[in-house]
Amino acid sequence: MSRESIQDLLNLDGKVALVTGAGRGLGKSMALALAEAGSDVICVARTKGQIEETCAGIEGFGRKGMAIPTDIASSRSVDEMCSAALSEFKKIDILVNNAGISIEKPFCDVTDEEWDRLMNINLRGAFFCSRAVGRGMIERRQGKVINISSILGKRGYQNFVSYCVSKGAMTQFTRALAMEWARYRINVNAIAPGTFLTPFNEEVYANDKVREVVLKRIPIRRFGQADELGPLVVYMASRASDYMTGETVYIDGGQQANL
């Protein structure tokens, strides 16, 4: 039997991916990378204009994009989104749970409402989307789930307690779900980015003093660029990663190695 080429293993032709938080930053970059590798992509976020812009980029690669404004903190909204996506594409092969928010505030100043909102988006959103999409994956006995965690899921950081807790939980969610769904040939893995430069944080890192402090913590001495996540998410979404499940891969310029 002839060996498949690396190019064939990484090819996503005929696949359908769903990416949450696809309107900007890392989510948008990953959605475009999946499209470039051959997948049609369903783009999910609250802001319609942003995900429509991402879809325009997807269509530039000759793939089909679908923008579905969704509140992922609502199980009803997620179920309606999934139903609309399946009505159009009939299946979802790849799920990227990327949507998330952070709160920078001393722990004792975090309000009940702020804590709940962060957990609802960062954790409940991944739960709702995985449950809604997972039903079809189980039925078809195949699928790829990629959760976006963070290096702060493993290390503590002042004024980010709620975010650290949510991302630590995401790592454990990945492990446990991988064990439950392995029998259905569904791979569940996570990506834990370090400090990436995105439109969301460009203004903060434009401050020379802040930039200097942060860069000193990164052994490679630079920020990650959003498109550097593309090859990794394509690998995890492809047949090349079929023997990998329950893992969290750190892409952080060496920060994790420097603990």
What CA–CA distances, in Å, run from 46 to 72, 140, 224? 8, 29, 25
Q: Which of 163, 184, 235, 243 is catalytic?
A: 163
Instruction: Name the token pair of 253.
Output: 């310029």
- Specify whether 163 is catalytic: yes
Instruction: Name the token pair of 15.
Output: 């696949």
CA–CA distance, 163 with 170 (Å, rounded to integer): 11
DSSP assignment of 141-160 equals T-EEEEEE--GGGTS--TT-
CA–CA distance, 3 with 256 (Å, rounded to integer): 35
Type of residue at 235? Y
161: helix, strand or coil? helix
Q: How many CB atoms lie within 10 A of CB 26?
A: 26
Quote the strand ranges of 105-252, DSSP E: 143-148, 186-193, 196-197, 224-225, 248-251
Instruction: Name the token pair of 198.
Output: 């995105």
CA–CA distance, 158 with 156 (Å, rounded to integer): 7
Which residues are known to be catalytic?
163
